[in-house]
Amino acid sequence: MRLAKYLALTGCCSRRAATRLIRDGLVRIDDRTANHVDSVTLIDTEHGQQCAETIYVNDELIAAVEAKAYWLFNKAVGTDSRLLADLPNSLLHLLPESPRLYPIGRLDKDSRGLLILTNDGELTHKLMHPDFGHAKTYHVQVDRPFEDAFLASMTAGVSYKDVTTLPCVMSRLDSDKYQITLTQGLNRQIRRMSQALGFKVIDLKRVSIQSLQLGDLPEGSMRSLSSVELTELLASVACTEADA
């Protein structure tokens, strides 16, 4: 197996990031600096796949490839999606020691709702890459009631700073609440779109990513994906990848 693909399988980074690390001389195989044509030999074990070679990234030993795991997590407001051990409110402190799980993307600390947790580096790359245009749906409450013109403006795309957002799908949930589906992933996009039109977001909840639904999963809880959910997610990613 090519080295970059193996590093993605371990969950340490995406394949594209692995390629950059190899290019920059930050990856070692045994006692030598790796290069982009290197491959590794995998040995099947009870708990996953073990590399016959010893791999280091930034001088840290890379562990064996764990069996792939896919979980849903309902993030609460205040939980920081960054996996930083020195942050008391980091998501890291809520995750199991094994398997090692990483969030696909982030939710702002002030936002809540659905996160996908996995150790599948390839899936992470495909869901985060902007070219694939994966759909994420949110329920949003703003600080006062809005007219239908607000929905129309949001749907068409909003300009702020030096960007204009792509068209999106909007619907009203209440006088001051709306549902929005984005295929774009700009930083704090919904908050900035609303602010540009004169509204402040006071609650933002992600309820779906592609085919996955948050449903009635309690806040702060996590569960593994069902086989049906995983099959549908991987199929939806494959379809959008083919269209990209």
CA distance 47 to 34: 26
Q: Among candidates 70, 79, 67, 137, which has minimal Cα distance to 109?
A: 79
Phi, psi dihedrals of residue 50, rounded to the nearest 5°: -105, 135
Given the residues 108, 131, 143, 148, select the one marked as catalytic: 108
**CA distance linking residue 116 with residue 130, whole number of Å:** 17
Q: Residue 13: count other Cβ atoms within 10 Å of its Cβ.
A: 20
| Known active-site residue 108 | yes
| Cα distance between residue 134 and residue 143, in whole Å | 28
Positions marked active-site: 108
